[in-house]
Amino acid sequence: MDTTMPVAAPRVTYLNHEHTVASWLLTKDHKRIGIMYLMVVTFAFFLGGLFATVIRLELATPAGDLVSADTYNKLFTMHGVAMVFFVLIPAVPAILGNFVLPLQLGAKDVAFPKLNLLSWYIFVIGFLFTVYAMVAGGVDTGWTFYTPYSSRASNTNVVATGLGVFITGFSSILTGLNFMVTIHRMRAPGLTWFRLPLFVWAIYSTSLVQILGTPVIAITTLALAVERFLHFGIFDPVLGGDPVLFQHMFWFYSHPAVYIMILPPMGAISEVIAAFSRKSIFGYSFVAFSSLAIAIFGFLVWAHHMFVSGISIYSALVFSFLTYAVAIPSAVKTFNWAATMYRGAIWLKAPMIWAIAFLGLFLVGGLTGLFTAALGVDVHLHDTYFVVAHFHFIMVGGAIMGYFAGLHYWWPKITGRMYSDIWAKVAAIIVFVGFNLTFGPQFILGYVGMPRRYHVYPPEFQVLNVLSSAGASILAVGYVLVAIYLVASLFYGEEAGDNPWHATGLEWTTQSPPLPHNFATQPVVTEDAYEYSQREIKVV
Amino acid sequence: MVSGIPLFPQQGSTLAADVDALYFFIVAVTAFVALLVTIVVIYFAAKYSTNDPLEVGARIHGSIPLELAWSIIPFLVTIVIFVWSADVFFDLQRPPDQTLEIYATGKRWMWKFQHLDGQNEINELHVPAGRPVKITFTSEDVLHSLFFPAFRTKADAIPGRYSTVWFTATLVGEHHIFCAEYCGTNHSGMVGKVVVMEQTAYEAWLTGNVGGGTLAARGERLFSDLACNTCHLSDGRGRGPSLANKFGAAERLASGATVAVDESYVRESILTPQAKLVDGYQPLMPTFQGLVSEENVMALVEYVKSMRVPSAAVSRAEAPAEPAKPTVPQENR
């Protein structure tokens, strides 16, 4: 990677101070660990994308003519498992969080560097387990693993996949713990809580969810395995269990998991919008506390996935109300981002274009949540394509676009190289257009009544499905384009310089790529985050 | 079915219009907010854009009044949606007293419907227009979900318990029935149609399709075949409680609690008799779990329902699908 480093800059960086494979596999450097996560997550992303491609090809016609029904069911299951557990949950915290968090804090590394490496290994072992389950015949329960189908009826690799999710969960817990301690203990002198970049607040809130929520999915998958193997009646009514109990336990983790996916990208968006508006974030403390509020209230809304699952109408009432309550902090963030741009000096470089694309898609994703939270409408919408469209707008339109905005923002810091700004903008626009064409028609499909997870469908739904598949092919071109110009930048990219965006934040005060231990001298912070009107943060 | 590109589902029931009205209200609210924010962001991006990387923005840190405004106003709007949607939801979840009752069972991968007069249908359901229909259903294997897009209602079929959906169909014709909860290989083939007929056509269909007696009659035969009648004597002197006039009443349990005798309680008492033991009786009854299919359990439930005051039972002969609920005292024990 660094063989093309120009002779004029023989600086020691975290990339070039050691070269052996062992120096990577045994590294305790948060930056290298971040890059190792990037490798695995990118692989999982293209794997999940491959599954999605076959799904969209199959759905181009109403008949089940490309793959068999069982194969189709495995495809959407494995698409969900790969994307949720191995892309969305780790993407921003484990890749960007690992790389950027200690730099933003002015720290040498995370609080527990060895634990950080262990987390990566646990993540990889969990991923290998899941890939093994996929290669050895796949799994067909849906990523939601609903009982009693998963515990009794399915004869696919349910337990191996569950074990993969179970193992990976520990990586998520340990990373959350590591980051939380790091934020408490490793802040540079002068870096008080309310001077922290908002990305740090977002990671802190996410860590809270990772630590408190993930053990519940571990218990749930374990209970599922116990029922499958030992026939203990936990979820299967024939054995005396309750299938709805599984849904409570599953969503108690998996709803907060949505905030593990979306909070860190929201943090990245706060950084990008402030940097490219060259202005303080509007309402810093409101944006910071809205992250915490989302993390906490996010634990109280799980049963909104279960309005037609046989819960009492009065508990449905409570969960609907709480869901509207948790929507408010997300709205507050969005309004603050828009207001930050007011009277800014807006520099429309590629990361800002990705961030604006995020705003547009996240807005649609968040607002369509008002439909699914509305009890009377959700009875109709539940388990239709409307829901599929809604959560893809949040998870892909929100989380993945936010991840890309952050990746483009910090790429010059990570690699020391600058990618093509033009191509990056073109890719953002292609992805934005392709995404809307893919998932926009699915809102209509859902309201017309097409249920999700359908291998064949009535012919009158075909036109909207063809539009969606066409959009998906545009989307795929966009993502491949991103991979091409980012890889190309490693070989042909110009040297980025230490602070190509003229941004505030301690990560921009060290060299690009950073030193092995981040900073030559201990940074000291004397002012709030995003003090653009006073130019760069002074570092003593 | 509508040909061409359907952009909006047919309104096939009395409540469909209520759901759609709420839907369009939320469309209007969200479209307004989405447009407002999009226009503001694009306007700012265009108006304040600069290519001088050293230029900086204005020194603005926030505004408490604005923060309060854009927290409180959206909250109030969501409260309006919440209240309205709860109202529609309660209408969808609570059937009126006088309904045409139908039982259904979901199993991989079909829907089986049982009419009180004895007709059975698979993946097809005939109902009259203009009359409330209540479907009580369960699943024989995994989760399913009985979804009527044209009626804007669905509920999960859960093994081990009864769910209900109800609707008053208004649009004569055929509409989709989908399974909305993933249930394995042929999930997308677990579809059918609901055939909404004029009342007279429906009655003609009923008489033309008589099976082996009414559902309650089938239940009565099962009641003696399974020897239920050896303990549940109607004079109350058997080893089990008399079931006469029991449905719709409240039953006192050995635990001291009381339970309303409804479809779910009768079903539970057949399959797990010891779960809620009636006060004053010994736990003698064996379980019928695995011995009686869900369809036969429904026939038994319907028979227990029919063992009510004679006058109510007689009136059912003329109005086959209207159990005379109001005549049953609600708290008579």
Residue A60: give its domain's CATH number.
1.20.210.10
Enter the DSSP assignment of A201. Answer: H
Query: Is A66 at the interface with chain B, CB within 8 A?
Result: no
Cα nearest neighbour of A345 on chain B: B57
Express each pLDDT in A363-413 by its tens digit: 999 999 999 999 999 999 999 999 999 999 999 999 999 999 999 999 999
Domain count across chain A: 1
Nearest-Cα distance to chain A for B295, in Å, is 17
Asked whether A416 and A4 are in contact (CB, 8 A), the reply is no
Residue A129 belongs to domain spanning:
21-534
For A117-121, A496-500, B6-10, B19-23, which range has the lowest pLDDT when averaged over its residues? B6-10
pLDDT (average), residues B260-264: 90
Q: Which of B61, B70, B78 sits opposite A332 (nearest CB)?
A: B70
Question: Domain for residue A384, yes or no?
Answer: yes
Identity of the residue in A325, A373, A379 whose CB atom sits nearest the CB atom of B154? A379
Contacts of A318 (CB under 8 A, 6+ apart): none
Tell me whether A454 touches chain B (CB under 8 Å): yes
Q: Which of A346, A354, A436 is nearest to A403 (CA)?
A: A354
- Scored b (16 or more CB within 10 A) or e, A304-326 reads bbbbbbbbeeeebbebbbbbbbb
Picking from B29, B50, B153, the nearest residue to A345 by CB comes out as B50
Calculate the alpha carbon distances from B82 to A242, A314, A362, B36 in Å. 29, 13, 22, 22
Q: Which residues of B touch A379 (CB under 8 A)?
A: 19, 89, 92, 152-155
What stretches of A374-509 show up as alpha helix (H) in DSSP? 375-381, 385-392, 401-415, 421-448, 462-492
Number of A to B CB contacts under 8 A, please give it.
291
With 90 as the cut, is the pLDDT of residue B4 above it?
Answer: no
What are B111-153's pLDDT values in tens digits?
Answer: 999 999 888 899 999 999 999 999 999 999 999 999 999 999 9
With a CB-CB cutoff of 8 Å, which residues 80-119 of chain A face chain B?
none
CB contact under 8 A, B154 and A380: yes
Please give the average per-residue pLDDT across B41-51, as a whole number.
95
Say yes or no: B76 contacts chain A, CB-CB below 8 A: no
* A318 contacts chain B (CB < 8 A): no
Distance of CA B291 to the CA centre of its chain: 26
- The string of pLDDT tens digits covering residues A264-323 is 999 999 999 999 999 999 999 999 999 999 999 999 999 999 999 999 999 999 999 999
Answer whether A375 sits within 8 Å of B159, measured CB to CB. no
Q: Is residue A159 part of a domain?
A: yes
Best residue of B67, B76, B111 to probe chain A, by most A CBs closer than 10 Å: B67
In this structure, the number of other CB atoms found within 10 A of the CB of residue B229 comes to 15
Find residues 146-205 of chain B whose CB sits inside 8 Å of chain A. 147, 149-150, 152-156, 158-161, 163, 176, 178-189, 191
- Looking at residue A51, its amino acid is F
Q: How far apart are CA A383 and CA A392, in angstroms?
A: 14
3-state secondary structure of B252: strand
CA distance A183 to A200: 8
The Cα angle at residue A452 between residues A450 and A456, in degrees rounded to 5: 70
The pLDDT value given to residue A496: 93
How far apart are the CA of B284 and the nearest CA of chain A, in angstroms?
Answer: 20
Measuring CA to CA, how many Å separate B311 from each of B234, B314, B325, B327? Answer: 17, 5, 12, 9
> Do residue B161 and residue A310 have CB atoms under 8 angstroms apart?
yes
pTM for this one? 0.90
Sequence-distant contacts of A155-159: CB under 8 A, at least 24 apart: A156/A74, A157/A133, A158/A224, A158/A228, A159/A224, A159/A225, A159/A228, A159/A229
Interface probe, candidates B142, B161, B271, B289, chain A, greatest A C-beta count within 10 A? B142
pLDDT tens per residue, range A435-452: 999 999 999 999 999 999
Tell me the DSSP string of A103-125.
HHHT-SS-S-HHHHHHHHHHHHH
Interface check B25 vs A, CB under 8 A:
no
Residue A351 within a domain: yes
B208 interface with A at CB cutoff 8 Å: no
Structure tokens at B104: 């259904």
Q: A448, B6: Cβ pair inside 8 Å?
A: yes
Cβ-Cβ contacts under 8 Å, A148 against chain B: 141-143, 159
Angle at A465 between CA A460 and CA A466, to 5 degrees: 105
Q: Decide if B57 and A343 are in contact by the 8 Å CB cutoff.
A: yes
The predicted pLDDT at position B311 comes to: 47
Per-residue pLDDT band for B310 (boundaries 50, 70, 90) equals: low
ipTM for the complex shown: 0.92
pLDDT of residue B296: 87
Residue A178 domain flag? yes
pLDDT digits (tens, 9 = 90+) for B209-233: 655 678 888 888 888 888 888 888 8
Note which residues in 256-295 of chain B have CB less than 8 A from chain A: 289
Q: Residue A325: inside a domain, yes or no? A: yes
Q: Flag the least confident range among A163-167, A433-437, B2-6, B105-109.
A: B2-6
Q: Which chain B residues contact residue A142 at CB under 8 A?
A: 182
Please answer yes or no on whether A376 and B149 come within 8 Å at the CB atom.
no
Give the containing element (helix H, strand E) for B135: strand B132-139
- A508 domain residue, yes or no: yes
Examine residue A151 and state whether it is found in any structural domain, yes or no.
Answer: yes
Compare CB distances from B57 to A243, A277, A456 and report the shortest one's residue.
A277
Q: Is residue A190 in some structural domain? A: yes
Q: Which of residues 219-238 of A touch B (CB under 8 A)?
A: 237-238
Comparing A50-59, A69-78, A434-443, B307-316, the range with the smallest average pLDDT is B307-316
Enumerate residues 1 to 20 of chain B having a beta carbon within 8 A of any beta carbon in chain A: 1-9, 18-19
Encode pLDDT of A9-24 as tens digits: 568 999 999 889 999 9
